[in-house]
Structure 1
Amino acid sequence: MDSCDSFLLRILAACPPLSPAEVRQVEDWWHAERSPAEGLAAFLIRQGVFNREALKTVEFMERGYVTFSDARHLFTMQGQDRARNRLKSASGRPVLTSSWSSSHLPASAAENPEEALERTERKPVMHGVLAVQSSSQQRLEKRATALQAGATLGKCLLTAEIGRGGSGVVFRGYHLGLNIPVAVKVLLLDAVQDHDSACEQLRQEARLLAQLNHANIVRVLDFEDDATHPYLVLEYVDGVSLSDLIRQSGRLRGDRAARVILQVAQALDAAHCLGIVHRDVKPANILITRDGSAKLADLGLAVVIDSRTGTLRDGEAMAGTVAYMPPEQALQTNPVDHRSDIYALGATFYHAVTGQMPFTGRTRSEVIKKHARETPVPPSHLVADLDPAISAVICRMLAKDPSQRYSDHQELIAALTRIETRSGHSIALPLAGSAAESPSQDAGDSVSRVRSIWRSLVRRFRATS
């Protein structure tokens, strides 16, 4: 049993969605039926007990990147009941159901809870509230069935769908010419009313990304203006989004979150040097690699600021994600510039260290009004052991008046570096690298390879922390 397996058993025992006796039975089950060299987390994922992100979450927790977690977040919707069914069926004892029993779910979810969970996870999120999936989006999913895992788009073999939005879908793929894993972002023309405008926005994203050669920005590898499926080929980041990490784990430790935010600030500074404003900085657009490096993604709403006037060149209307949107961007009261991205990054920083957004509401307009008029509760009031200096940085980033925020990303970077220097830890992290992965690779071998790589990275991380 390696350290990760022992760590996971301690988590289950300390925050028990299962009883201590059941945890011991799970360990016996794993020893009896696991594949060679298969770890406990990988085994429970294969059995449908843990969700697909559990292995990465446990690794992040073991290395100290996440310090607060509810073990229930590791389970699938019916994972606890599946485990109990398996453990108790042999003894003939009645099966106990968890608080997530299908009796507490809608009829559609009770019939197939896994599919219900997938549908829930893919619903668009606005101001912290899940939006109702529209009938047009449901029709879109039906029309998109022709573009599925296993299809070839250009030189890319699509291996799995990894994300879906209102107008597009992202696949993990394999570039048959370069022999590397890639992410393929496909525009679904059936989902948009103005095809020309949507295609131009994707083209603009490709051109902006092509100008940005930075370790903390997802690289673009190709763009194809295909008449049926326009698409971008992007660097594949083997990790999790900050949004998923927060959702799985509750919140991040202050110093770890500061490292992520610093790297994103460096990415935004590189963009600012080219006059680019991201306009949609949020946890879902920040990808975390296995070594803790952060990469900024999705420049679909990015715009170029006119260096002479400091205003948007195209007269863009309000765009972005309300939960992290600065007041001037939402209300269009002041020109949008790099300080708008600083505000959105501050809202992201707030969410990462507290586990909650600065403002929530029932409607978009309610959240916008709070961003414009209300002062968020200081993060240090929500997290008792949070470094007051981190709380102060976040509060300044979230100032209503852009002139009261950090004047530029360099000033923000300096503030975060001072925090790290005072804490006695180096702010630098190793550069991220994507591990190549064959599309025909066996899932068990892939998990074993991932675990081996992560163990070596954990040792490196501990040695430098």
Structure 2
Amino acid sequence: MKNPSETPDPIKPQGYVQPLGKIGQYDLLKKIAEGGMGSIYMARNTKDKSVVAIKVMSPLYVHNPVLLKRFEQEYKVASKFNHPNLVRALEFGTDNELPFLVLEFVNGESLGAIINKQGKFEELEGIKIIAQVAKALNQVHKDKLIHRDVKPDNILVGKNGVAKLTDLGLVKEILVGDLNLTRSGRGLGTPNFMAPEQFRDAKNADIRCDIYSLGATLYTMLTGELPYKSVNPLETWMKKVQNDLPPPRELNPRISERTDWAIRRAMDSDPDIRPSSCREFVEDLVGKSTRKSTVTTPALDKTEAKQPIETIWFMAYIDDQGKQHVVKGTAKAIRRSFKDGILEDPLKYKLAKSVEGPFEEMKVFPEFRDLAVHLTKPNPTPNSKTQSADPVPNPTSEPAKTMAELNRSKSSTPSWVYYVVGAITIIAISLIIWVVLFLTRQ
């Protein structure tokens, strides 16, 4: 990135902004966002004076081939579209080996920033924005692509009220895969807005994961709250597969029954229950759905109400950083987490029917004995860890008794053995020294 000329311009037009620097043929005017992969600047084309947004990759990642490919893929995908609700990509280039992506400039803010400032939206206003994003996603899906990271921070709302979907770096092709950027069994996206099946395997997710994320985005817009508040991704996933979601109307009684139902349908853990398209989701919201239960409690909830309440289990474990955690879930959810590969080694986890314990190995309980037997067999080709099980979660408060049990399980050797071995070693060394001294005196 080149430094701007230090020679002052004697004649500065009204509205002139001193550039922060220069990349390619663009003057960088102002940093407008910063993310994990780099920064985004408002910039001016020195040739035609047009204002654009430029995403500049952080120097930390310029030698990462996967991130470089994903950065370039965002340009290839976004440049294909000319849709009023999709941010257009204009150019991709490098300057002193620093990759940059030139994008359409949107004079506005991200939906996430608006929610942080003003709180929840009115229902009608929120639906109008979501309907625009749904049109963008319909176009993406029509081209046999999946976004995979729909969330408030990736939706820009202009001062003219037009919403635009951006950040196509995680887009994948439905038929030919993700250009080998996504391994099977690895989740990509943002946990709070991801569909549960996307946790398991982002490579094989379909358009219904975008519908889930769109529903989760509207949930946040109308309630002012994230869909799932959990201390770690594993607990988030457990809640998602159990549909353990506070209904929107519970958090905001002003939300209509129809919208409440439409959001919960879009966010169902079973993809087959969700709308088959973003257009159908909008039809649910505006009352044009062909389903009869649009403004009443769904039949699914009535069926579930007749079923007996499932036992809640508490699962304790120690992560790779030595932090201790307890998460809760039904037997069905815990079993599914192992069978779907979210969790791998049953020996690392202990279960109890109360948060106070006592926590015991899975093989002790009939409900999980088969998992402990079958999943602990040696596997010559270990599975790669999924993203959802890998991040470092925050610690949770747990009973001292439970943690003592977990720590004891890490070593089966009694402590007195170490003292005896140490004493014998000291005596042996002392005898050797004594013999050496005795022989040297002879």
TM-score range, shorter chain: 0.5 to 0.7
Distance 2:241 2:59 in 1: 35
Distance 2:203 2:170 in 1: 18
Distance 2:116 2:197 in 1: 28
Match of 1:198 among 61, 67, 71: 67
Query: Given residue 185 of structure 1, which amino acid in structure 2 is its aligned partner?
Result: K
* Alignment correspondent of 2:36: 166
Q: Check conservation: 2:3, 2:22, Cα contact below 8 A.
A: no
The alpha-carbon distance between structure 1 residues 419 and 256, as it changes in their structure 2 partners (threshold 3 A), is farther
Deviation at residue 185 of structure 1 after TM alignment: 0.3
Aligned-pair RMSD on alpha carbons?
2.4
Q: Check conservation: 2:2, 2:23, Cα contact below 8 A.
A: no
| TM norm structure 1 | 0.55
Q: Check conservation: 1:215, 1:295, Cα contact below 8 A.
A: yes
Q: Check conservation: 1:360, 1:367, Cα contact below 8 A.
A: yes
Q: Check conservation: 2:91, 2:103, Cα contact below 8 A.
A: yes
Deviation at residue 158 of structure 1 after TM alignment: 0.4
Q: Check conservation: 1:242, 1:288, Cα contact below 8 A.
A: yes
Distance 1:211 1:176 in 2: 25
Match of 1:229 among 75, 98, 110: 98
* Alignment correspondent of 2:208: 339
* Alignment correspondent of 1:153: 23
Alignment of 1:367-406 (within 5 A): 367-406=236-275
Q: Check conservation: 1:167, 1:189, Cα contact below 8 A.
A: no
* Alignment correspondent of 2:141: 272
The alpha-carbon distance between structure 1 residues 313 and 414, as it changes in their structure 2 partners (threshold 3 A), is farther
CA deviations on 1:259-312 (whole Å, 9 max, x unpaired) are: 1111111100000011111111000000111122110011111111107xxx65
Distance 1:178 1:338 in 2: 39
Distance 2:95 2:69 in 1: 12
The alpha-carbon distance between structure 1 residues 227 and 305, as it changes in their structure 2 partners (threshold 3 A), is farther
Match of 2:195 among 326, 341, 355: 326
The alpha-carbon distance between structure 1 residues 152 and 227, as it changes in their structure 2 partners (threshold 3 A), is closer
Distance 2:100 2:222 in 1: 35
Alignment of 1:353-364 (within 5 A): 353-364=222-233
CA deviations on 1:81-104 (whole Å, 9 max, x unpaired) are: xxxxxxxxxxxxxxxxxxxxxxxx
Match of 1:240 among 80, 96, 109: 109
Alignment of 1:171-190 (within 5 A): 171-190=41-60
Deviation at residue 178 of structure 1 after TM alignment: 2.8
Deviation at residue 419 of structure 1 after TM alignment: 6.7
Query: Given residue 44 of structure 2, which amino acid in structure 1 is its aligned partner?
Result: Y
1:366 aligns with 2:235: yes
For these two proteins, the number of residue pairs brought into alignment is 273
Match of 1:258 among 111, 114, 127: 127
The alpha-carbon distance between structure 1 residues 418 and 373, as it changes in their structure 2 partners (threshold 3 A), is closer
- The structure 1 segments of at least 4 consecutive aligned residues displaced by more than 6 Å after TM superposition are 144-148
Query: Given residue 383 of structure 1, which amino acid in structure 2 is its aligned partner?
Result: N
Distance 1:190 1:333 in 2: 25
Distance 1:400 1:345 in 2: 14
Q: Check conservation: 1:305, 1:313, Cα contact below 8 A.
A: no
1:288 aligns with 2:174: no
Q: Which ranges of structure 2 fall in alignment gaps of 5 or more residues?
A: 5-17, 290-442
Distance 1:178 1:201 in 2: 29
The alpha-carbon distance between structure 1 residues 418 and 176, as it changes in their structure 2 partners (threshold 3 A), is farther
Deviation at residue 180 of structure 1 after TM alignment: 1.6
Distance 2:276 2:76 in 1: 27
Distance 2:258 2:70 in 1: 39
Distance 2:168 2:201 in 1: 20
Instruction: Give the match's secondary structure for 1:407.
Output: coil
Distance 2:137 2:47 in 1: 31
The alpha-carbon distance between structure 1 residues 372 and 182, as it changes in their structure 2 partners (threshold 3 A), is same
Identify which of structures 1 and 2 has the higher relative contact order when contacts are C-alpha pairs closer than 8 Å and 6+ apart: 1
* Alignment correspondent of 2:79: 210
Deviation at residue 392 of structure 1 after TM alignment: 1.1
Q: What is the percentage of aligned positions where both structures have the same residue?
A: 33
Q: Which moved more, 1:378-387 or 1:250-259?
A: 378-387
The alpha-carbon distance between structure 1 residues 305 and 233, as it changes in their structure 2 partners (threshold 3 A), is same
Query: Given residue 58 of structure 2, which amino acid in structure 1 is its aligned partner?
Result: L
* Alignment correspondent of 1:79: none
* Alignment correspondent of 2:167: 298
Deviation at residue 236 of structure 1 after TM alignment: 0.6
Distance 1:356 1:221 in 2: 35
* Alignment correspondent of 1:410: 279
Q: Check conservation: 2:259, 2:284, Cα contact below 8 A.
A: no
